[in-house]
Amino acid sequence: MDKVRTPDERFENLPDWPYAPRYVEISDGLRVHYVDEGPADGPLVLLTHGEPTWSYLYRKMIPLLVDAGCRTVAFDLVGFGRSDKPTSGDDYSYEGHVGWFDEIVRAIGLRDITLFCQDWGGLLGLAHVTLHPNLYRAVVAANTGLPIGQNHPLPQATVEWLEYSLKDPSDVGEIIGGDSPLNTNDYRGLSIDEKRAYNAPFPDETFRAGARKFPRLIPNTVEHPSSAFCRRLYDGPVQACQVPLLTVFGDLDTVTIQAEPVLQATFPGAAGMPHRQVAGASHFIQEHAPEACVKAILDLHAQIA
């Protein structure tokens, strides 16, 4: 497997990101980056990002969680952030990423996890929760879902993203900041330095194979190579998963909002939970409503204590 590693200097002097990098190595010699902040004996919160972002997306939530006494871990998915990036799109698959996810969790030594997952952080993280529920204490699923592996229409916003990602140079700062034609609802006026931070992992096209491939890994038809994997999850592990699950969706998110009732109806641990929508928040809810996201985590901890 050929891979590239973003130079360290790309991550120097990023705003609101004082965290020392930590690394674990998984299969194929892949080095994965993570941050680990807060008291070692505090309740563990794992923050997982989606595409095309990295753990920098959680820069507003990490200090709030640490102040609340939580051990807070965030790792960069393979192909993103400071983690190694296989250079061929053929190296990326849904099942492969779930396997990497499991390797990362075990390499860091995480257990009794409260997972906060968004976008692909949930497509992967929720699959992992159903396969390994013994590792998890609770889940907050924000603007994400778990594909059912059957023929179903994607939201128009998702279709537009698939088309956009084929031809756009993937200026992540523009996407998160809402200056692209895709996410006008997401505009929150990111600074130049914040946009630089989001773009840091991708010096050129060589580093973007994962970001390019991810939208095509969504198993939304029965013909998709990963549809059988998702159907097996729903046929057994999902129905047996009793891990408490709370949904927190931005009311302006047009990309994943259709997944909200599916999660609430199919995950047994979601029954009777105080699910909530966050007014004025769109797809990148960590940028728009970090306090509400952290409150949801802490409220969930209090409820299941």
Active site amino acids: 119, 253, 283
Any idea what DSSP says for residue 22? E
- Give the span between the Cα atoms of 67 and 126, in whole angstroms: 27
Confirm if 73 and 35 have CB atoms less than 8 A apart: yes
Confirm if 130 and 61 have CB atoms less than 8 A apart: no
One-letter amino acid for residue 55 of the chain: S
- Give the span between the Cα atoms of 61 and 187, in whole angstroms: 19
What's the distance, CA 233 to chain centroid? 19
- Give the span between the Cα atoms of 258 and 255, in whole angstroms: 8
Six-digit token string for 273: 């939970």
What is the phi/psi pair of residue 37, to 5°?
Answer: -125, 160
One-letter amino acid for residue 274 of the chain: P
- Give the span between the Cα atoms of 159 and 33, in whole angstroms: 31
